[in-house]
């Protein structure tokens, strides 16, 4: 079965550069979530989209922005990168919002961003 | 202030030795509590969603329960392949997600 696809899998950037991470949800999933997980840290929720509209916002820095496109894929744009942005960035998708006990969220393999 | 606290931080079990992991939360309004399994270097794998006190979910050797202040993940007769970090997250009524720091489970053959 198709899973959540993230690209690139690895990315190395210099400080103050920009980066774009892409997430392709499971087919027919209309909700996308972004999480950041620093080394040895628990995941931090960044932002989510439902039907191409921002649904929830977490601890996403102002330097970051994201959007969901008409085909439901999402992109996380990161500018003025800092050393502390080095982390694994996970994308997850679900069919609808997580508001019923039968809803399931599927995670992608993550993009490992290293800022030098 | 910690919103989600998981205990223990690490747990070593013999194969077949049942145990429970705890997730306590302090959010003012709970929209949902989620359990995940995470293997090193991989994305979390969604296990359960719990929405109301008294709710229980089961999947193979795992059973999750929820009270008004905490959730338990019971592991019955674990196998070595159950070794992983188990993460708990809550979503409050403001739609914010808070993750715990996880319990690292090692099951010894």
The number of beta carbons lying within 10 Å of the beta carbon of residue A62 is: 7
Question: Per-residue pLDDT averaged across A17-39, rounded?
Answer: 94
- Taking the Cβ of residue A50 and every Cβ of chain B, the question of whether any pair is shorter than 8 Å is answered with no
Whether the pLDDT of residue A43 is over 90: the answer is no
User: Which residues is B65 bridged to in the sheet?
Assistant: B56, B72
The interface residues of chain B toward chain A in range 57-86, judged by CB-CB distance below 8 A, are 57
| Smallest Cα distance from B101 to chain A, Å | 5
User: Chain B residues with CB inside 8 Å of A103's CB?
Assistant: 49
Whether the pLDDT of residue A23 is over 90: the answer is yes
User: What is the pLDDT at residue A1?
Assistant: 62
User: What is the pLDDT at residue B28?
Assistant: 78
A95 vs A11, which has greater pLDDT?
Answer: A11
User: What is the pLDDT at residue A100?
Assistant: 62
User: Chain B residues with CB inside 8 Å of A110's CB?
Assistant: 41-43
User: Chain A residues with CB inside 8 Å of B55's CB?
Assistant: 101
How far is residue A42's CA from residue B24's CA, in Å, rounded to a whole number?
Answer: 15
- Taking the Cβ of residue A40 and every Cβ of chain B, the question of whether any pair is shorter than 8 Å is answered with no
Asked if residue A63 has a cis previous peptide bond (ω within 30° of 0), the answer is no
- Mean pLDDT per 10-residue segment, chain B (109 residues): 86 97 90 89 85 91 94 97 94 80 94
Question: Per-residue pLDDT averaged across A16-40, rounded?
Answer: 93
The encoded tokens of residue B29 equal 């309004």
Question: Per-residue pLDDT averaged across A91-116, rounded?
Answer: 83
Over the stretch A69-81, which tens digit does the pLDDT of each residue have?
A: 999 999 999 999 9
The number of beta carbons lying within 10 Å of the beta carbon of residue A34 is: 24
How far is residue B19's CA from residue B5's CA, in Å, rounded to a whole number?
Answer: 18
pLDDT band at A89 (very low <50, low <70, confident <90, very high): very high
Q: Which of A68, A73, A104, A107 is nearest to A89 (CA)?
A: A107
User: What is the pLDDT at residue A102?
Assistant: 60
Residue B28: Cβ-neighbour burial (10 angstroms; 0-12, 13-18, 19+): exposed
User: Chain A residues with CB inside 8 Å of B44's CB?
Assistant: 43, 90, 92, 107
| Smallest Cα distance from B82 to chain A, Å | 19
């Amino acid at each position: 079965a198709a899973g959540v696809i993230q690209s690139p899998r690895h990315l190395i950037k210099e400080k103050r550069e920009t980066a774009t991470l892409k997430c392709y949800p499971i087919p027919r999933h209309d909700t996308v979530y972004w999480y950041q997980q620093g080394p040895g840290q628990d995941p931090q929720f960044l932002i989510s989209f439902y039907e191409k509209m921002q649904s929830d916002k977490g601890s996403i820095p102002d330097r970051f922005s994201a959007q969901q496109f008409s085909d439901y894929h999402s992109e996380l744009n990161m500018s003025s990168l800092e050393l502390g942005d080095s982390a694994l960035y996970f994308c997850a998708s679900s069919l609808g919002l997580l508001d019923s006990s039968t809803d399931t969220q599927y995670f992608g393999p993550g993009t490992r961003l290293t800022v030098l | 202030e910690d919103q989600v606290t998981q205990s223990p931080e690490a747990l070593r079990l013999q194969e077949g030795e049942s145990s429970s992991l705890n997730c306590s939360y302090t959010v003012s309004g709970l929209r949902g509590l989620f359990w995940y399994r995470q293997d090193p270097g991989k994305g979390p794998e969604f296990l359960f969603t719990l929405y109301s006190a008294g709710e229980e979910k089961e999947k193979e050797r795992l059973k999750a329960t929820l009270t008004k202040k905490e959730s338990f993940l019971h592991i019955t007769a674990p196998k070595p392949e159950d070794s992983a970090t188990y993460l708990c997250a809550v979503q409050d009524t403001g739609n914010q997600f808070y993750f715990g720091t996880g319990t690292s489970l090692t099951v010894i053959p």
